[in-house]
Amino acid sequence: MSFWRLDTLFLTFLVLLTFIVSPMLGPANETVAPPFCKPLWLDPASGRPLSLNAKDNILSFTWESKPPKAFSVKGTVSFEEVPKDAALLLVSPKKTYKLMDLAGLKNLDVDIDSRDVPLKLHLGLNPFVEVSSVIFSEKGTYSLYVRSDVKAHVNLNINIYTGKWGIFGTDQRGRDVFRLFVQGIKISLLVGIFATLIASTIGMGLGLIAGYLGGLTDSSIMRTVDVLLAIPTLPILVVISGVWGRGLWQIVLVLSIFSWMGTARVVRSLTLSLREAPYVEGLRALGAPAGYILVRHFIPEALPLLLAQTVLGVPGAILAEAGLSFLGLSDPLMPSWGRMLHEAQVFGAFTGGAWWLIFPPGLGIASLCLAFISIGRRFEEMADPRLKEMTGR
Amino acid sequence: MMEVSSLSATYPNGFNAVKRADLNLASGKMLALVGESGSGKSTLIYACLGLLPKGSKVSGKVLFDQIDFLALPQESQRRIRWKKVSLILQGTMNSFTPVLTIKRQFLETMEEHLKLTQREAEAKAAGLLEEVGLDDGFLSRYPHEMSGGQKQRCAIAMALCCDPDYLLADEPTTALDVITQAEIMNLLKSIVRRRNMGMLMVTHDLALASSTADEICVMYQGCTIETERSDVIIRSPKQPHTIALVKSLSMMEE
Amino acid sequence: MNNYWLKRLLSSLLVIAVVLSLNFFLFRLMPGDPTSSLLDPRFSPEAKHELLKSYGLDKPLSQQFFIYVKQMLTFKFGISFMSQRPVWQELAERLPNTLLLLFPALLLSAVLGILLGVAAAKGRGGLVEKTVLLSGAISFSFPSFFVQLVLLLLLAHAFPIFPLRGSLSVPPPVGFWNLVTDKIWHMTLPVASLVLLGFGSWALYVRNLMVKALGEDFILLARAKGIRESRILWRHAFRTALPPIVTIFFLSLPGVISGAVITETVFSLHGIGKFLLDAVLGHDYPAAGAAFYLMSLVTVACNLLADVVYTFVDPRISFRRLR
Residue type, C20: L
Residue B167 dihedral angles phi and psi, to the nearest 5°: -130, 125
Instruction: Using a threshold of 3 CB pairs under 8 A, tell whether chains B and C touch.
Output: yes
Give the number of other Cβ atoms within 10 Å of residue B139's Cβ: 20
Contact B97, B143 (CB under 8 A): yes
Q: Which of B77, B81, B99 sits opposite C239 (nearest CB)?
A: B99
pLDDT at residue number C82:
77
Beta-carbon separation of A242 and C288 below 8 A: yes
Contact A183, A190 (CB under 8 A): no
The Cα C161–Cα B173 span in angstroms is 68
pLDDT at residue number C178:
86
Residue A41's region, left for phi above 0, alpha for psi from -120 to 50, else beta, is alpha
The three-state secondary structure class of B135 is: coil
Is A56's pLDDT higher than 70? no
3-state helix, strand, coil in chain B (%, to 5): 45, 25, 30
Summary mean pLDDT of chain C: 84
Query: Which residues on neighbouring strands pair with residue A156, listed in sequence order?
Result: A54, A75
Contact B168, B200 (CB under 8 A): yes
Average pLDDT over residues C133-155: 88
pLDDT (tens digit per residue) in B192-232 = 999 999 999 999 888 888 889 999 999 999 898 888 888 88
With CA atoms as reference, report the closest residue to A338 among A223, A224, A255.
A255
Residue C233 dihedral angles phi and psi, to the nearest 5°: -60, -50
- CB proximity B95 to C under 8 Å: yes
Contact A343, A177 (CB under 8 A): no
Q: How many beta-carbon pairs below 8 A join chains B and C?
A: 68
Q: Which of A231, A238, A341 sits opposite C276 (nearest CB)?
A: A238
Q: What percent of chain C has pLDDT over 70?
A: 90
In a domain? residue B113: no
By the 10 Å C-beta count (0-12 exposed, 13-18 middle, 19+ buried), A171 is classed as buried
The Cα B106–Cα B88 span in angstroms is 14
Residue A275's region, left for phi above 0, alpha for psi from -120 to 50, else beta, is alpha
Q: How far is CA A342 from the centre of its chain?
A: 12
Give the number of other Cβ atoms within 10 Å of residue A258's Cβ: 18
Is C323's pLDDT higher than 50? no
Residue B103's region, left for phi above 0, alpha for psi from -120 to 50, else beta, is alpha
Average pLDDT over residues C86-90: 88
Summary mean pLDDT of chain A: 83
The three-state secondary structure class of C86 is: strand
Domain containing B77 equals: 2-96+164-253
Average pLDDT over residues C200-206: 90
pLDDT (tens digit per residue) in A4-53 = 788 888 888 888 888 888 888 878 787 777 778 888 887 777 777 777 77
Query: Which residues on neighbouring strands pair with residue A153, listed in sequence order?
Result: A78
Give the number of other Cβ atoms within 10 Å of residue A103's Cβ: 15
For strands B16-25 and A96-101, give the pairing: unpaired
In a domain? residue B154: no
Is A291's pLDDT higher than 50? yes
Query: Which residues on neighbouring strands pair with residue B67, listed in sequence order?
Result: B64
Average pLDDT over residues C280-289: 83
With CA atoms as reference, report the closest residue to C69 among C7, C15, C23, C10.
C23
A44-161 matches A177-391 in fold: no
DSSP code at position C235: I
3-state SS string for chain A:
CCCCCHHHHHHHHHHHHHHHHHHHHCCCCCECCCCCCECCCCCHHHCCCEEEEECCCEEEEEECCCCCCEEEEEEEEEECCCCCCEEEEEECCCCEEEEEECCCCCEEEEEEECCCHHHHHHCCCCCCCCHHHHHCCCCEEEEEEEEECCCEEEEEEEEEECCECCCCCECCCCEEHHHHHHHHHHHHHHHHHHHHHHHHHHHHHHHHHHHHHCHHHHHHHHHHHHHHHHCCHHHHHHHHHHHHCCCHHHHHHHHHHCCCHHHHHHHHHHHHHHHCCHHHHHHHHCCCCHHHHHHHHHHHHHHHHHHHHHHHHHHHHHHHHHHHHHCCCCCCCCCCHHHHHHHHHHCCHHHHCCHHHCHHHHHHHHHHHHHHHHHHHHHHHHHCCCHHHHHCC
The Cα A239–Cα C21 span in angstroms is 13
Contact A85, A149 (CB under 8 A): yes
pLDDT (tens digit per residue) in A318-332 = 999 999 999 988 888
Interface test with C, best of A188, A228, A231, A369 (most C CBs within 10 A): A231
By the 10 Å C-beta count (0-12 exposed, 13-18 middle, 19+ buried), B63 is classed as middle
**ipTM entry:** 0.90
Q: How far is CA C97 from the centre of its chain?
A: 12
- Which residues from B are below 8 Å from C216, CB to CB? 94
Give the number of other Cβ atoms within 10 Å of residue C271's Cβ: 26
List, in order, residues 6 or more apart from A323 with CB less than 8 Å away: A234, A237, A338, C143, C144, C145, C262
In a domain? residue B75: yes
Interface test with B, best of C129, C209, C210, C218 (most B CBs within 10 A): C218
Is C33's pLDDT higher than 90? no
- Chains touching A by CB (3 or more pairs below 8 Å): C
Distance from CA of B244 to the nearest CA of C (A): 33
The Cα B70–Cα B16 span in angstroms is 18
Rg of chain B's alpha carbons, rounded to an integer? 18
> Of chain C residues 233-272, which have a CB less than 8 A from chain B?
235-236, 239-240, 242-243
Distance from CA of C8 to the nearest CA of B (A): 25
Average pLDDT over residues C297-318: 85
Residue C12's region, left for phi above 0, alpha for psi from -120 to 50, else beta, is alpha
Is A391's pLDDT higher than 50? no
The Cα C154–Cα B86 span in angstroms is 59
pLDDT at residue number A1:
46
Length of chain A measured in residues: 393
Length of chain B measured in residues: 254
- Which residues from C are below 8 Å from A236, CB to CB? 22, 292
> Of chain B residues 125-184, which have a CB less than 8 A from chain C?
142, 144, 158
Strands of the A70-79 sheet, one edge to the other: A50-54, A152-161, A70-79, A107-113
The domain segmentation of chain A, as residue ranges, is 44-161, 177-391
For strands B67-68 and B85-88, give the pairing: unpaired
Q: Where are the beta strands (DSSP E) in C21-126?
A: none
Structure-model confidence comparison of residues A317 and B254, the more confident one: A317
Is C281's pLDDT higher than 60? yes
* Domain total in chain B: 1
The Cα B185–Cα A169 span in angstroms is 82
Beta-carbon separation of C218 and B81 below 8 A: no
DSSP code at position C44: -
CATH code of the domain containing B6: 3.40.50.300
With CA atoms as reference, report the closest residue to A246 among A320, A171, A332.
A332
The Cα B62–Cα B22 span in angstroms is 9
Distance from CA of B233 to the nearest CA of C (A): 32
pLDDT at residue number B54:
86
CATH topology of domain A177-391: MetI-like fold (1.10.3720)
Is A392's pLDDT higher than 50? no
Confidence of residue A170 (pLDDT cuts 50, 70, 90): confident
Which stretch of A204-213, B73-82, C50-59 has the lowest confidence by average pLDDT? C50-59
- Which residues from B are below 8 Å from C312, CB to CB? none
Beta-carbon separation of B79 and C226 below 8 A: yes
With CA atoms as reference, report the closest residue to C199 among C95, C305, C92, C114.
C114
The three-state secondary structure class of C241 is: helix
The Cα B254–Cα C7 span in angstroms is 58
Beta-carbon separation of B112 and C228 below 8 A: yes
Average pLDDT over residues C176-195: 89
pLDDT at residue number C40:
63
Rg of chain A's alpha carbons, rounded to an integer? 31
- Which residues from C are below 8 Å from A315, CB to CB? 140-141
The Cα C263–Cα A139 span in angstroms is 49
Beta-carbon separation of C226 and B98 below 8 A: no
- Which residues from A are below 8 Å from C98, CB to CB? none
The three-state secondary structure class of B77 is: helix
By the 10 Å C-beta count (0-12 exposed, 13-18 middle, 19+ buried), B69 is classed as buried
The CATH number fitting domain A44-161, selected from 2.40.350, 2.40.50, 2.60.120, 2.60.40: 2.60.120
Contact A167, A230 (CB under 8 A): no
List, in order, residues 6 or more apart from A276 with CB less than 8 Å away: none
